[in-house]
Amino acid sequence: MRNIEMQFLDEYKRVDNICADMYSCKNGISAYLAQMDDTPDEDRLLVPSWDDDYKALRRLRWLRNYITHEARASDCDEADLNNIISFHERILRQEDSLSLLYRELLRLNRLPVYEDEETPETEAKEEAEGDTEKENVKRIKRTALSFWELISGATAFNLLPSMVFILIVLVLLLLFIK
């Protein structure tokens, strides 16, 4: 393996680890690319360097895979090393494509609201609509848990013995019915 390839792989690992931490996953750059893939086209247009960054990252990931899995020498050169170093620096400065997009969406007040995310707007909407299905599910879960705790005196730590007892009673009932 050539020295330039070793330097490239070292820098790639640094960037991949940062992205893996951001996305709480194993393959960070792949997760970053997946996030770029999932971004709507109209949002991509808000970042002028989006397409160039996307193509460069895909090439850098391909190059990393080629170096690590192929026996032949790669076409890795100074430009590739400089690209991964540049991307690393831009992530640290929050000047990468996804960071720029986030800032632009924030500026335009267009940040996406995820289903589980509680915001004042979603809380007000739920209150105006009355009981939602989500609230009903929460209430049913609380009621079911309270019921099991009441009849068995169970908590999260001693639920298993109660369940075994109930299972034994059911088996005896089935045998008695036959």
pLDDT of residue 176: 77
Indicate if 24 and 86 belong to the same structural domain. Answer: yes
Q: Do 98 and 136 sit in the same domain of this protein?
A: no
- Domain closes at, from 107, 138, 156: 107
- Total tally of structural domains belonging to the chain: 2
More confident residue, 149 or 52: 52
Q: Are residues 131 and 67 in the same domain?
A: no
Mean pLDDT along residues 35-57: 94
Does 121 fall in a domain? no
- The verdict on 9 and 84 lying in the same domain is yes
pLDDT band at 140 (very low <50, low <70, confident <90, very high): very low
Residues 93, 165 within the same domain: no
- Angstrom distances, CA of residue 4 to CA of 9, 66, 75, 102, 121: 9, 14, 10, 34, 52
Q: Are residues 135 and 88 in the same domain?
A: no
Q: Would you say residue 127 has pLDDT above 80?
A: no
Domain range holding 80? 3-107
Write down the pTM of the prediction: 0.62
pLDDT at position 154 is: 43
- Asked if residue 80 and residue 136 are part of one domain, the reply reads no
Of the two residues 50 and 139, the one the predictor is more confident about is: 50
Amino acid at 174: L
